[in-house]
Amino acid sequence: MASEMNRRSFVKGSLLSSAGLALALDGAAPDAPAASAAAGLSKGRIGKLEVSRVLLGGNLLTHFTHSRDLRYVYNLAAHYNTDEKIMETLAVAEAHGINTVSMHNPPHPMSVLRRYRKERGGKIQWIICPTAPVEPGLAKYRQQVEELLRDGCEAIYLWGVHGDSLVAQGKMDLVAQAVELPKTLGVPSGVGGHALEVVQACERHGVNADFYIKTFHHHSYPTGPKPEELTAAYNEFPGYWCKDPQATAAFMKTVKKPWIAFKTMAAGAIPPKTAFRHAFSSGADFVLAGMFDFEIAEDVKLAMETLALNKDRERPWMA
């Protein structure tokens, strides 16, 4: 009976919350918790862009859940996060003070972002990584960058998969060119990577990135990697995306550019409270968090509480 009552209470609360959000979007007075969060979630700057300390991650929106061997979770996410639900999620994020979404650029999810702006009047900013190959001449990469900018994308970064590969091959000239291209077109440009060597090489070679987006999470979770399993920058089996969090935190203290930490929850294996505390206290300027719509309010609340306790940290705020 208790579990049934809890279930009913959850459903009732969810429906009331959704109704309150709908009224807010229609121009009526927003519900108090959302208004409070929107006012309270702090922001930093990347170039001229003002970005909320928590960004909405795109993997759940693109249905790429990093769910290891739980293959059904991919289909579950796809069935839950329909186009309409994605637009609802973006609206909930905005209502709670998250003003930026970051993801890669598969065609259909990008079409939903465009629809959200055009049909719903959405204002959430985009920080997107093109997935086109980064090759000499940058022809295909330039095409995607220009398409994104025509759609109103506010910032671009080199996809972490590309960053890892190009740095491993010593192709720093292509990294630098890929970073410079969006800057010449008037938007901030960053570098993504799973491997710490990506940030280290960019700093060593003077790549003119405006920001870094680097994986960061601890390994103290039940399915976390054992030392002998840390064989690459990241691995789906076992699931880890930051090979050496201690070295990452130590090196980022020397970096004078904004740092967006992603995969902070190790694809859902680490509770957000622990993940946010670890990221912000270790020097991250922003956290990129994949969230379903029903998780946003609580996650923003946890982030605000964490930020309030991080006034004196070893790495100064770089944004």
Per residue in 91-143, pLDDT tens? 999 999 999 999 999 999 999 999 999 999 999 999 999 999 999 999 999 99
Domain count, the chain: 1
* 315 lies in some domain: no
Per residue in 219-256, pLDDT tens? 999 999 999 999 999 999 999 999 999 999 999 999 99
Q: Name the pTM for this structure.
A: 0.89
For the ranges 2-11, 168-177, 208-217, the lowest mean pLDDT is seen at 2-11
For the ranges 72-81, 95-104, 132-141, 149-158, the lowest mean pLDDT is seen at 72-81
Interior angle at CA 42, CA 40 and CA 46, nearest 5: 155
Q: Residues with Cβ < 8 Å from 152, sequence gap 6 or more?
A: 117, 126
Which range of residues forms the domain containing residue 220?
50-308
CA–CA gap between residue 299 and residue 39 (Å, rounded): 15
* 77 lies in some domain: yes
* 41 lies in some domain: no
Q: Which two tokens stand for residue 64?
A: 């790429």
* 63 lies in some domain: yes
What's the distance, CA 195 to chain centroid? 17
* 130 lies in some domain: yes
CA–CA gap between residue 209 and residue 206 (Å, rounded): 9
* 14 lies in some domain: no
Check residue 34 and give its pLDDT: 55
Look at residue 40 and tell me whether its pLDDT is greater than 70: yes
Per residue in 249-299, pLDDT tens? 999 999 999 999 999 999 999 999 999 999 999 999 999 999 999 999 999
Per residue in 161-201, pLDDT tens? 999 999 999 999 999 999 999 999 999 999 999 999 999 99
CB-neighbour burial class of residue 179 (10 A; exposed 0-12, middle 13-18, buried 19+)? buried
Check residue 16 and give its pLDDT: 38
Going by C-alpha positions, the residue among 19, 15, 41, 39 that lies closest to residue 28 is 19
CA–CA gap between residue 259 and residue 283 (Å, rounded): 8
Roughly how many angstroms between the first and final C-alpha of the chain, as a whole number? 50
* 1 lies in some domain: no
Look at residue 22 and tell me whether its pLDDT is greater than 70: no
Check residue 24 and give its pLDDT: 42
CATH number at residue 259: 3.20.20.100
CA–CA gap between residue 58 and residue 64 (Å, rounded): 8
Report, in angstroms and rounded to the nearest whole number, the Rg of the chain calculated over CA atoms.
19
* 317 lies in some domain: no
